[in-house]
């Protein structure tokens, strides 16, 4: 890294920053080119900041890229160009088709945690009693649900057992039939989804952390999964840089009458 202020930077300095950014982040886009000319210090420091967790954390490159796939494909973000970059990279570093579609399955059920939490509030406010009877088979299915899904289903199952059954079917049978993620890897992906600022869910985050620690996932691994979500905020910077470039370009000449 150059460590210089923008007004002291030569084109060689900027080229060095570009190389560093690509090495750390694995891509180069028109917005980064705009930022390199207008604010090269940002490009340099962002590459160091965003690359730090992947460079120093304990998760494998495969797991890092699968978490990025989850974050970019999440309905709270839907960032197609980043998804293409990280899905391609995930495959390059060893992720299988089953891994990818296991992640996309978790993305699909992300919103169910908030539905269950809201249903718990509805049950409390409307006077639904926790001791009200629940079908024994449905109760058994709920009891067998892995804790890393962070789905509190009892209230919604009492109010709408059909919905609870449909959700359990999606959770149990919607993922790839063979291969895919281990339970602890699913915990890491779901922690990243629920801890990310784009859809922060403190209750689900706490439940997933407790489940993951019980699975033997280390604090350092959990922290890295949390840290990776911060990078999504740069997509706002990218939008701003692209907009600035668009409005700064001279208008096209009017056609002659």
For 142-184, how does the pLDDT look when each residue is reduced to its tens digit (9 = 90+)? 999 998 999 999 999 999 999 999 999 999 999 999 999 999 9
How far apart are the C-alpha atoms of 227 and 229, rounded to whole Å? 5
How far apart are the C-alpha atoms of 248 and 243, rounded to whole Å? 8
Segments in the chain forming alpha helices (H): 11-25, 30-38, 40-56, 61-73, 80-92, 97-108, 112-126, 136-144, 154-159, 161-173, 183-195, 202-215, 219-227, 234-248
How far apart are the C-alpha atoms of 257 and 248, rounded to whole Å? 26
Specify the pLDDT at position 2.
55
How far apart are the C-alpha atoms of 153 and 120, rounded to whole Å? 9
Over residues 1-34, the pLDDT tens digits come to: 555 555 578 899 999 999 999 999 888 999 999 9
| Token code pair at residue 200 | 């922060």
Specify the pLDDT at position 239.
95
Give this prediction's pTM.
0.90
Separation of CA 74 from chain center: 6
User: Which one, of 237, 203, 213, 186, lies nearest residue 31 by Cα?
Assistant: 237
How far apart are the C-alpha atoms of 119 and 122, rounded to whole Å? 5
Q: What are phi and psi of 101, to 5 degrees?
A: -80, -20
Specify the pLDDT at position 255.
67
Q: CA triplet 92, 67, 74: central angle to 5 degrees? A: 115
| Local confidence band at 257 (pLDDT 50, 70, 90 cut-offs) | very low
Over residues 47-83, the pLDDT tens digits come to: 999 999 989 999 999 999 999 999 999 999 999 999 9
């Amino acid at each position: 890294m150059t460590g210089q202020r923008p007004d002291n930077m030569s084109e060689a300095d900027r080229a060095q920053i570009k190389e560093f950014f690509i090495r750390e982040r694995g891509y180069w886009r028109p917005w980064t080119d705009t930022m390199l000319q207008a604010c090269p210090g940002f490009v340099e420091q962002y590459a160091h900041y965003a690359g730090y967790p992947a460079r120093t954390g304990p998760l494998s490159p495969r797991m890092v890229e699968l978490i990025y796939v989850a974050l970019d494909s999440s309905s709270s973000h839907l960032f197609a160009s980043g998804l293409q970059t990280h899905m391609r990279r995930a495959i390059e570093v060893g992720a299988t088709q089953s891994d990818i579609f296991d992640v996309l399955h978790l993305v699909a059920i992300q919103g169910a945690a908030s539905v269950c939490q809201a249903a718990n509030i509805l049950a409390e406010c409307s006077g639904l009693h926790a001791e009200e009877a629940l079908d024994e088979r449905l109760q058994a299915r709920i009891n067998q649900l892995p804790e890393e899904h962070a789905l509190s289903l009892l209230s919604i199952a009492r109010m709408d057992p059909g919905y609870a059954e449909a959700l359990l079917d999606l959770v149990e049978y919607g993922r790839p039939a063979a291969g895919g993620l281990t339970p602890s890897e699913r915990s890491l992906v779901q922690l990243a989804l629920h801890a990310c600022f784009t859809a922060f869910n403190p209750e689900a985050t706490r439940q997933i952390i407790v489940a993951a620690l019980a699975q033997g996932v280390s604090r350092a691994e959990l922290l890295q999964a949390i840290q990776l979500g911060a990078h999504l905020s740069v997509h706002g910077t990218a939008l701003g840089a692209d907009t600035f470039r668009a409005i700064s370009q001279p208008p096209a000449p009017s056609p002659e009458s």
